[in-house]
A = this chain, B = another copy of it.
């Protein structure tokens, strides 16, 4: 597997057709594809009925077939055409009924007549079908045959976990979810980018921090993971990101941690500001993914979200229109990958420089300042002098970059030069 924008899209395509739910075969199939790229991925299982905080692991949903046959004999709402046609977690049903009775089990979006909505009913037994509103309007009267061949069985909730060891026991935590059926931005983009980030990290010769990467069902999965690892996470995790909706080209977005001022928040905002000065800044009250659990009171992990276009903020969200190729693109995925990669590079290299000399060092004798003193000082030299001036041990490289309204990499490069000259040392 090579790192090209296209390889991201190809991998996303391999995840597309699987009919995922919060438990069951879809999750396992997805994890198996990811393990193909990340051989060290550990796949865990937790039994149906296990208590996780205020919740309980539900039964597995086994779905063999589901469709409707119209009075004229046409097969519609066939899950082999789109796995969004059936309400997620529907119980089994077989029967014949007139259109008015069927209508009570149909869901469509009048405002988006060509979209099949995505609907689930995990915690109340139900059956129902989702259909494009324009198709629903054409249904003739008469009797419809309905078939849902499904079971709810005792089984497992599965998730994948990859630990990539670094020099420190301090950890960066990355989490993405694998529980929605065929939707591109609000599902497949997350595990795709996260898989490639994990692969990139695995191949680096040296890491400062240990990385903990999890592929989990949203909500019940993150709660399960927290319930099994809370103490370790609270002890070790110093930063992290929830990775979701990271594959379209239309925007970059940031959603803060609950406390809003962690290093994850600072890094995410810095990265996005330089990728796209118009990136969207959400607040904690706009949250909607697993940061709800990771940042809950008493959990309080420093987890922020770097996204492209956020869940709920684009019209195709939670419908069959959230597709690969149209919504999610090579370029969109690659932009998301770059943003997370850049954030991690900053976390890995950010340190507090401290000047080793009192007063300004003599830059001229080191060839770092023109020996001819004229009216003006070049901006690059001025920036170097500013970096030295802020290198008092209390500011990190990132802090200095923000004080100087400069990109992290510029200040980092200057610090490398200054460190090579023994003009600064690092406090941490």
CB distance from A389 to the nearest CB of B (A): 7
Q: A378: CB under 8 A from chain B?
A: no
Q: A120: CB under 8 A from chain B?
A: yes
Given contacts A219-B360, A359-B226, A375-B318, contact A393 B120 (CB under 8 A): no
Q: A1: CB under 8 A from chain B?
A: no
Tell which of A7-15, A39-47, A122-130, A199-207 binds the partner.
A122-130
Q: In A354-392, which residues have CB < 8 Å from any B CB?
A: 354-355, 357-362, 364-365, 371-377, 382, 385-386, 389-392
Q: Copies of this chain, how many?
A: 3
Residues on B with C-beta less than 8 A from A318 are: 374-375
Given contacts A53-B357, A54-B361, contact A374 B117 (CB under 8 A): yes
Residues on B with C-beta less than 8 A from A323 are: none
Q: Which of B287, B365, B391 contacts A123 (CB 8 A)?
A: B365
Question: Does B230 lie within 8 Å of A358, measured CB to CB?
Answer: yes
Question: Does B124 lie within 8 Å of A364, measured CB to CB?
Answer: yes
CB within 8 Å of B: which residues of A? Answer: 52-55, 87-88, 107, 109, 117-124, 126, 219, 222-223, 226-227, 230, 258, 284-285, 287-288, 292-293, 295-300, 312, 317-319, 354-355, 357-362, 364-365, 371-377, 382, 385-386, 389-393, 404
A-B contact pairs, 22 of them (CB 8 A): A52-B359, A53-B357, A53-B358, A54-B358, A54-B361, A117-B375, A118-B375, A119-B372, A121-B373, A123-B364, A123-B365, A124-B372, A222-B359, A226-B359, A292-B389, A293-B360, A296-B358, A297-B393, A298-B355, A298-B392, A300-B392, A312-B375
